[in-house]
Structure 1
């Protein structure tokens, strides 16, 4: 080979090595996350339509017929406690619309129970364990928190790997003079190229939205999300910490007193009631929250001790109406009143991302866009498995070959590990995957054939 031919062939050789390196990492990331991505897509699709499901399948407890005025919250709460003997009222949620029931969460030694009450007649419509309520179960399975902290951390790592999948997938899809597989699908379902093209076109078409779902879901993750929340709050980009400066604080966090708290304020401390005497009661607090202009459907947590406060909060689809107010239980005076407009720039961006992620901000259009993305994730995952199954040699995993120019793979690995520094749990997963790959590749064993 002449010097000129070697020089002209080197760029192609490097491009092939880079392609194989990206393909190998794309394969590894997909191998780890596909089962979890399927879970996220299916449960996410259900949660997008939680209100519609609640008003149809569970209409018997969620939907009521308006007739006259509503009864006092204290009366509804009393009826709920009577339906669960020996219970104590923890939270009251006012109806968001006239056709919606009120919800009262009561505590028992066996666990919390959600009681659905008709706000017009006071009749108890249904009661269910808080951890058995449909939306609670779907949400907890979505985050895998239902199965424990360790599984929840796995989802956090999966979120970061999903970002890797999208970026490497776009590189592999990028047109390289091929006649198909860019916006069209070649072949028929009995051929591997059909599934390859279906996977590539689906992933590329929905790549930006999949990336958005992954990055907007990360703030809810246990480790990274908590660190981001703390960082924003410390730097004046989260909730306005100065509102807490002159108020005595308890050791409780907002997320510990509410059923569902907003991301920005979930770690904020709950204040302590400063007055003394006779508590003003739930009815006055609900009336005060209404008078202060809280959006309908707000939840009120009741004081749990003599120094406790009433906390009224609402986190609707319209993020601009988010609000949390802590009331002194004796004077009824608002101790802390925080609105969306009080949030820092970072918190506003995160809350908007979460609202879009949950399909709440733009109504049905938002729901359908996120549903289409979930369906694309399912299609891309299923087509990836079928494509791999058709491609793999018998009895082997069919891992894409290591690039001949191994320095290319090493450089790409360093870049991905740098990404892992931003998302530490993802970084640990990548590092573990890299170590396993190198051990199998370099140490002779039967696993070398299986992984080839």
Structure 2
């Protein structure tokens, strides 16, 4: 088979992959870049910063909760104690209809400084990034898009790989010409393909189908978290836990409540004095959950505390995770730009910005390729080349089932279009 025929077949897959997912990838690039700076954006929009007297001691957690409940009229479900003394505490209160409010409280005087409703702006950004606003359909669509993004990276690197005097990294010509935009698109893609591929793969564990399957494999082979007890966690406890702990649960306890102040004391005795959140029992007999605020993957820590006796039923940390859980948690922390500090965040930001630039330059390049005023797909190639590349792509689709199904749909659509044109 001639290399040119194989090249054209890869080009067509790259073109159609981009055509299918370009708008959603652009949305993910913008929202992902914004979410990397979640704390900075929230500090601009909400009263997150406080002046902490050096010798002052914060009020007891129970006092903070009582103030919040009196003002909001809602039941408090969660208390977040930040790592820094100069940040306000966050108290999550939930109404009977499910609406939630996060009140920002100065822990040294109990003054409520402001509130974030329904999670605030960054919760909306996160929901846009994951398409959670559209429910289960959006989650599955994210999985399909991530799979096609992997195809774009693989085919793009092949197309730009240096051959016959064609450099991988070059920007030639003038902005009015097609060569400039082809080089700009190709150079940016070649430079950023590794980061974009990493973002696509490490985002997959949050999806329902692929991520749920991965959790099942990890659990079945004892590669994940320690075995947890019998009551499945519900929101907000589930949302506060690392990925690998979300399918577990808290231990059954007797009815009673030692109080949130005692829980904070138990957490402090176990080394959690700040930078953690307390999730209050959702019903009588349910435990308290104390979960660390994770920056690096190895920060993961969770305590299950019996509400009646104060006994620490479970004390789980990073060292107890299996290799599968560690790999996923590391990937998530690096995906969010947290694992290796500012350098990590800047690299992920560069990946988002390059992805956005690729989404912008791709339609410009397509426009520059038009002939006689018509927008055209890359030229067709030989049947043998089409079959070989389709087989390679479907082989990749085996690892990402929803993407594989969308590939079959795309191939069926192309076949139908071909039959109509022949008729």
- Give TM class, smaller chain: over 0.9
SS at match of 1:304: coil
Which entry has the higher C-alpha Rg, 1 or 2? Answer: 1
Residue from 61, 70, 78 that aligns with 2:58: 70
Q: Are the equivalent residues in 2 in contact too, given 1:116–1:127 (CA < 8 A)?
A: yes
Q: 1:233: which partner in 2?
A: 219
**Residues 43-58 of structure 1: matches in 2 within 5 Å?**
43-58=31-46
Q: 1:265: which partner in 2?
A: 245
Q: 2:107: which partner in 1?
A: 119
**Residues 394-409 of structure 1: matches in 2 within 5 Å?**
396-403=374-381, 405-409=382-386
Q: Are the equivalent residues in 1 in contact too, given 2:210–2:400 (CA < 8 A)?
A: yes
Residue from 399, 405, 415 that aligns with 1:438: 415
Q: Are the equivalent residues in 2 in contact too, given 1:327–1:333 (CA < 8 A)?
A: yes
Q: 2:391: which partner in 1?
A: 414
2:17 aligned with 1:29 = yes
2:196 aligned with 1:210 = yes
User: Deviations 1:111-151 (Å, cap 9, x if unpaired)?
Assistant: 111111111110011123224x1221111110011222212
What TM-score does the superposition give when structure 1 sets the normalisation length?
0.89
> How far apart are residue 179 of structure 1 and its match?
4.9
Cα distance between partner residues in 1 of 2:193 and 2:131: 24
The alignment covers a number of residue pairs equal to: 420
Q: 1:162: which partner in 2?
A: 149
Q: 1:199: which partner in 2?
A: 185
Cα distance between partner residues in 1 of 2:419 and 2:282: 60
Given the superposition, is the C-alpha separation of residues 148 and 396 from structure 1 closer, same or farther in structure 2, using an over 3 Å criterion? farther
Cα distance between partner residues in 1 of 2:49 and 2:257: 32
Q: 1:4: which partner in 2?
A: none
In structure 1, stretches of 5+ residues that fail to align are 1-10
> How far apart are residue 253 of structure 1 and its match?
2.7
Q: 2:265: which partner in 1?
A: 287
Cα distance between partner residues in 1 of 2:186 and 2:293: 37
Given the superposition, is the C-alpha separation of residues 254 and 444 from structure 1 closer, same or farther in structure 2, using an over 3 Å criterion? same
Q: 2:295: which partner in 1?
A: 317
SS at match of 1:444: helix
Given the superposition, is the C-alpha separation of residues 75 and 238 from structure 1 closer, same or farther in structure 2, using an over 3 Å criterion? same
Q: Are the equivalent residues in 2 in contact too, given 1:185–1:194 (CA < 8 A)?
A: yes
In structure 2, stretches of 5+ residues that fail to align are none
> How far apart are residue 271 of structure 1 and its match?
2.1
> How far apart are residue 295 of structure 1 and its match?
6.6
User: Deviations 1:17-71 (Å, cap 9, x if unpaired)?
Assistant: 101100010011000111111111100111101112222332xx21111121100
> How far apart are residue 240 of structure 1 and its match?
1.6
Q: 2:336: which partner in 1?
A: 358
> Higher mean Cα deviation, 405-414 or 63-72?
405-414
Cα distance between partner residues in 1 of 2:199 and 2:365: 24
Residue from 298, 315, 325 that aligns with 2:276: 298
Q: Are the equivalent residues in 1 in contact too, given 2:304–2:313 (CA < 8 A)?
A: yes
Cα distance between partner residues in 1 of 2:118 and 2:379: 50
User: Deviations 1:387-423 (Å, cap 9, x if unpaired)?
Assistant: 00111335644111221x2122112111211211111
Cα distance between partner residues in 2 of 1:395 and 1:195: 18
Q: 1:222: which partner in 2?
A: 208
Q: Are the equivalent residues in 1 in contact too, given 2:140–2:402 (CA < 8 A)?
A: yes
